[in-house]
Amino acid sequence: MAKKKEIKREERIASVIMTVFSAAYLVGTFFQIPTSSIRQVVGPAVFPRAVGILMLLISVVYLIQQMRGLVKEADEKRAAIIGADEKVETKADIKTMAVMVLIMIAYALLFEPLGYAVTTFLSFMAGLLVLNRKHLIRDTIVGLVASFGMYFIFTTLLRVQLPAGVLSLFGL
C-alpha cells in the first residue's frame, strides 16, 4: 500500500507542476511574443495561445481529478495492449541520481575547456566510482577506449570536429 500512496503523491505533484507550467506558458504568450509589424490574419501568438489554453484546460481537469481522488485504477489490460511504458515501481535513488546529474553538468561545462577526450574520460571514471568500483582495471580500459579512442575515430576518420582542449597542448 505504501507504494501506491507514493505514486499517488507523485502524480499529485505532477498535476500541480503541469498546471503551473501551462498557466505560465499561457501568460508567456502575452509577454514573450511581441506583436508583429506585418499584418497577418493569424499572428505569431495565436497558435501558441491556443496550445496554452488547451494545455491549461487539461492540466486543471487532471489536477481536480487528483485532488478529489477521482482517479480509478488504471486499465492495466489496455495499457499492456497498447504497449505503454512500464510503470517505474522501484523507489527513486535520489542520492545517486543527484550525484550523476552533477557529474553530467560538470561534463557539459568542462566539455570545451578540457576537451572532449579528457572530460569524457574523467566523467566516465567519476561515474564508475559512483556506480560500481569492483572491476576498476577492466573498466578503466573501457573508459580509455570510449574517450580517447572515440575522439580519434571521430576527428580523424569521420572528420567531425570535437574540442581538443588540453590535448592541443600536446599537439594532438
Partner 1 sequence: MQQLISNIALGFGVAGTPFNLLLAFVGVFLGTIIGVLPGIGPMTGVALLIPITFGMPPSSAIILMAGIYYGAMYGGSTTSILVNTPGESSSVVTCIDGHEMAKQGRAGPALAAAAIGSFVAGTFATIMLMAFGPFLAQVAIKFGPPEFFALMVMGLTVVTSLAGRSMLKALFATLFGLAIAMVGIDMQSAVQRFTFGNLQFMDGIEFLVVAIGIFALTEVFVNICEMKNPKETSMEQIKGGLWMTKEDWKRFWPSSIRGTLSGFFVGGVAGAGAAVASFVSYGLEKRFGKHKKELGTGAIEGVAGPESANNAAAGGSLIYLLCLGIPGSGTTAIMLGALIMMGLQPGPLLFTQQPAFVWGLIASMYIGNIMLLVLNLPLVGMWVKLLKVPEYLLTLLIILFSFLGVYTMNNSVQDLLLMVGFGVLGYGMKRADIPAAPIILGMVLGKNMEEKFRQSMVISDGSLGIFLQRPIAVFFLLVAFASITNPYWKYIPMGFRKLFGKTPKAV
Shortest spacing between CB 169 and partner 1, in angstroms: 21
Instruction: Tell whether residue 168 is a contact of partner 1 (CB under 8 A).
Output: no
Residue 83 vs 171, nearer CB to partner 1 = 83
Binding to partner 1 in span 100-119, by CB under 8 A = 100-101, 104-105, 107-109, 111-112, 116
Q: How many whole angstroms separate alpha carbon 113 and alpha carbon 162? A: 12
Residue 142 vs 172, nearer CB to partner 1 = 142
Residue 34 vs 171, nearer CB to partner 1 = 34
Residue 151: closest CA among 126, 115, 122: 115
The one-letter amino acid code at 31 reads: F
Q: Which of 122, 127, 140, 166 binds partner 1 (CB under 8 A)?
A: 127
Binding to partner 1 in span 23-62, by CB under 8 A = 25, 28, 32-36, 38, 40-48, 51-52, 54-55, 58-59, 61-62
Binding to partner 1 in span 137-166, by CB under 8 A = 139, 142-143, 146-147, 150, 154, 158-162
Q: How many whole angstroms separate alpha carbon 4 and alpha carbon 27? A: 35
Q: List phi, psi (to 5°) of 93.
A: -95, 75
Q: Are 18 and 63 in contact (CB under 8 A)?
A: yes
Instruction: Tell whether residue 92 is a contact of partner 1 (CB under 8 A).
Output: yes
How many angstroms separate the Cα of 165 from the Cα of each of 50, 56, 109, 119, 169? 46, 46, 12, 9, 8
